[in-house]
A and B are shown apart, each in its own frame.
Chain A
Amino acid sequence: MMGMILEIKNLHASVDKKEILNGIDLKINAGEIHAIMGPNGSGKSTLAHVLAGREGYDVTEGQVIYQGRDLLAMPPEERAREGVFLAFQYPVEIAGVSNMYFLRAALNAVRKHHGLDEFDAMDFLKLVRDKMKMLHMDETLMNRPVNEGFSGGEKKRNEIFQMAVLEPKLAILDETDSGLDIDALRTVSDGINRLRGPDRAIILVTHYQRLLDFVVPDFVHVLSEGRIVKSGGRGLALELEEKGYAWLEESAAPVKSGVSVR
């Protein structure tokens, strides 16, 4: 039997007093890939950020258990060191800090947390060379400041490259497919598929089912107005593509009057 990695129980979260997540329940086991789909404003990205610990979101109710621990009680850096990885939808640029140096510092922070030796620059380069090749990250990209002047596709590849190096237990990919052309989508999907494994769980947050042609999920959940309104297998994504989100939204829980949902 595979162990449970993440359990979300009745999660409510709000931003500036506006409720965005409206009671999410979700169980994720090691080895599984879950796709979370839904229309714009349904709370997909909020869920990703709440799991990663971004400030500015108030969890008003509910619980998140990560590998037996209370995830919400951990500061973001501790979540990361414990294996929670968020691939950002809009990775931020950091002037003056080289991509390579940044990633080595990140990997060493994780290793230190687990009592492992830190990598020096040479060992690190050896370690990441294959992964660079896999994601078509050339060395000029590695020596440039983090994400600075990267194209949209390069930024997304860089996120997946970081994931490949950090080897998280739980990877949350927030609209990693958005803005990618078909070749880049293929490269990124290859990267994700290689990381698929029995000890790891992946959450794919996506608006379109296109990514799911390349990374086939075990489960698909549809989010609407802050709650999961339907769960199913791979077929659900195809059905959504055909019918759109509208037919599901009708079945979503009614929103309390006077509360607007983004």
Chain B
Amino acid sequence: MATNQETVESLVNREYKWGFVTDIEADSVPAGLNEDVIRLISAKKNEPEFMLEWRLSAYRHWEKLEKTSAEPKWANIHYPPIDYQSIVYYSAPRTKDNPKSLDEVDPELLKTYEKLGIPLREQELLSGVAVDAVFDSVSVATTFRDKLAELGIIFCSFSEAVREHPELVRKYLGSVVPYTDNFFAALNAAVFTDGSFVYVPKGVRCPMELSTYFRINAQNTGQFERTLIIADDESYVSYLEGCTAPKRDENQLHAAVVELIAHDNATIKYSTVQNWYPGDKEGKGGIYNFVTKRGKCLGKNSKISWTQVETGSAITWKYPSCILMGDNSVGEFYSVALTNNYQQADTGTKMIHIGKNTRSTIVSKGISAGRGQNTYRGMVKISKNARGARNYSQCDSLLLGDKCGAHTFPYLEVKNSTAQVEHEATTSKIGEDQIFYFRQRGLSSEDAVSMIVNGFCKQVFRELPMEFAVEAQKLLGVSLEGSVG
């Protein structure tokens, strides 16, 4: 009753503990965007001519979009107009060029990663997770390179890939997300500064999880990374991505692009735990996470599986999708999105069925607390030739308190009569009677909410690699702390 409201509200309010700033000298270009800035970025990165040309075409396209106000407005999110001329498009820790080993990496940087709980050195030695760390815009260290190289696996920063494997980059860059795809994809293509690149050759099963850690540090910078993963025939790779940012009063823009390509019988598993700074309790500050992620199941029997746990960011706009071109290819999307305080999320997926007997699964779990607004937006498209295509979608929403919102927009477009498409949706609320039941059995309100929320998300957590699942569970606990009490 009266106290119930407080109960539900107070469980959501814990401090963001990754909000520190690293004092490190940065090499930045002045704020603003024009062709000169793009030429400068490209020059700083010693890029071949084709990259510069691609960036410039993207920029010109974006400029047109900007002039015609083509920034997407259809999502269920609200924010003041972004001044794209006030953003710094390139910021790099001033350090020795291309560290050959961790010993050459600025110790301040390594300390930052330690604070974040990812000691690179330890990771390298103990855990068998290969890590690429992107700090502001530049990839600082990639561990385990040599071991992977023996198998022919390329795992490096995007800049390096552009220089050392230009033929691969040229072949695949923009092949899944062309720069004409959308406003933010165009912006990213013009100004992206780094990211990760993975190529797994034919018949190779990548023996360890590959992992990238993104960190925005400098003020007023945008982070525009680009990830490209190619799994050749009969190969397998599991890739993890994590992110944090310091606390800032201003909003910061993060507009990334991820492209995945799976050839015949190849599998790519892509897991994200997104914990960008969400802003404070009044909704001040936080990251705008406007991201385009898409995978192409190019080959027959290929599979792409997205798993995401989205707890951070002031605004999340993100639809990791699969284009199922190869016959019998499989697309999966497992998502937990949590919005608390004034966070907004409009997230979901697109499953585009083109090949025969293609299958897709969508499991989306949205949790809204505080004044958070959580939207699932998904499209399942079965094209004319996709005989025997099947889709199963499940969208569940959980509400904590009565000031938050959950919204579901599933779009279905079916052009082949042999298709089977199923959609299930539920909305539930953590009730005072449930919390009392837990308390009467000796468990605190916090335990109650955390058990209910974790139970709600179990189906998605199961898809995460072990270490990540544990981290995700903790993160949910932290993000909800104080929303009940």
Contacts and interface: CB of A to CB of B under 8 A. Distances in A.
A155 B324 CA distance: 46
Given A102-B451, A105-B447, A105-B451, A52 B440 contact: yes
Interface in B428-468: 428, 431-434, 436-445, 447, 451-452, 454-456, 458
Contacts of A54: 436, 440
B1 interface: yes
A55 B3 CA distance: 7
B238 interface: no
A55 B4 contact: yes
A190 to B, nearest CB: 22
Contacts of A76: 436, 439-440
Contacts of B437: 88, 91-92, 94, 146
B451 A113 contact: no
Interface in A139-187: 145-146, 162, 166
A79 B439 CA distance: 9
Main secondary structure of the interface of B (DSSP, over half): helix
A166 B442 CA distance: 10
A77 B455 contact: no
A95 B428 contact: yes
A128 interface: no
A81 B115 CA distance: 37
Contacts of A55: 1-4, 7, 432, 436
Interface string B1-31: 1111001000000000000000000000000
Interface of A: 52-56, 75-77, 79-81, 85-86, 88, 91-92, 94-98, 101-103, 105-106, 109-110, 113, 145-146, 162, 166
Contacts of A91: 437
Most chain-A CB neighbours within 10 Å: which of B2, B437, B451?
B437
Nearest to A110: B442
B13 to A, nearest CB: 19
B452 A80 contact: no
A67 B84 CA distance: 68
A106 B431 contact: no
Contacts of B4: 55
B144 to A, nearest CB: 35
Interface of B: 1-4, 7, 428, 431-434, 436-445, 447, 451-452, 454-456, 458
Contact of A81 (B433, B442, B445, B447): B442
A106 to B, nearest CB: 4
A250 B452 CA distance: 48
A88 B436 CA distance: 11
Contact of A77 (B7, B432, B433, B444): B444
18 contacts: A52-B440, A53-B440, A54-B436, A54-B440, A55-B3, A55-B432, A56-B3, A80-B442, A91-B437, A92-B433, A96-B456, A97-B451, A102-B451, A109-B441, A109-B442, A109-B444, A110-B442, A146-B437
Contacts of B452: 94-97
Contacts of A110: 442
B442 A113 contact: yes
Given A55-B1, A56-B1, A92 B441 contact: no
Given A76-B439, A77-B443, A146-B437, 7 more contacts: A53-B439, A77-B440, A92-B433, A94-B437, A94-B452, A96-B458, A109-B441
Contact of B455 (A79, A80, A96, A103): A96
Nearest to A107: B442
Contacts of A98: 455
| 6 nearest A-B pairs in the assembled complex, by CB-CB distance | A96-B455, A106-B441, A56-B1, A109-B442, A80-B442, A76-B439
A162 B370 CA distance: 33
A106 B447 CA distance: 10
B441 A95 contact: no
A162 B442 CA distance: 12
B421 to A, nearest CB: 25
Nearest to A91: B437
Most chain-A CB neighbours within 10 Å: which of B3, B436, B458?
B436
Most chain-A CB neighbours within 10 Å: which of B7, B440, B445?
B440
A86 B436 CA distance: 11
A65 to B, nearest CB: 20
A109 B447 contact: yes
Given A95-B455, A97-B452, A86 B443 contact: no
A80 B432 contact: no
A92 B443 contact: no
Given A55-B432, A92-B433, A94-B434, A166 B441 contact: yes
Contacts of A145: 455
B3 A105 contact: no
Nearest to B7: A55
Contacts of B451: 97, 101-102, 105
Contact of A106 (B442, B456, B458): B442
Contacts of A162: 441
A54 B141 CA distance: 55
Contact of B440 (A80, A101, A105): A80
Contacts of B3: 55-56
Contacts of B456: 95-96
A170 to B, nearest CB: 12
Nearest to A90: B433
Nearest to B445: A77
Given A95-B455, A96-B456, A145-B455, A109 B443 contact: yes
A77 B442 contact: yes
Nearest to A16: B1
Most chain-A CB neighbours within 10 Å: which of B2, B440, B442, B454?
B442
Given A97-B451, A105-B447, A92 B434 contact: yes
B242 to A, nearest CB: 25
Contacts of A113: 442
Contacts of B444: 77, 109
Most chain-B CB neighbours within 10 Å: which of A75, A80, A94, A145?
A94
A97 B447 CA distance: 12
Contacts of A146: 437
Nearest to B459: A96
A52 B431 CA distance: 18
Contacts of B7: 55
A90 B455 CA distance: 22
B190 to A, nearest CB: 44
B147 to A, nearest CB: 36
B442 A94 contact: no
Nearest to A98: B455
A149 to B, nearest CB: 14
Contacts of A106: 438, 441-443
Contacts of A109: 441-444, 447
A3 to B, nearest CB: 22
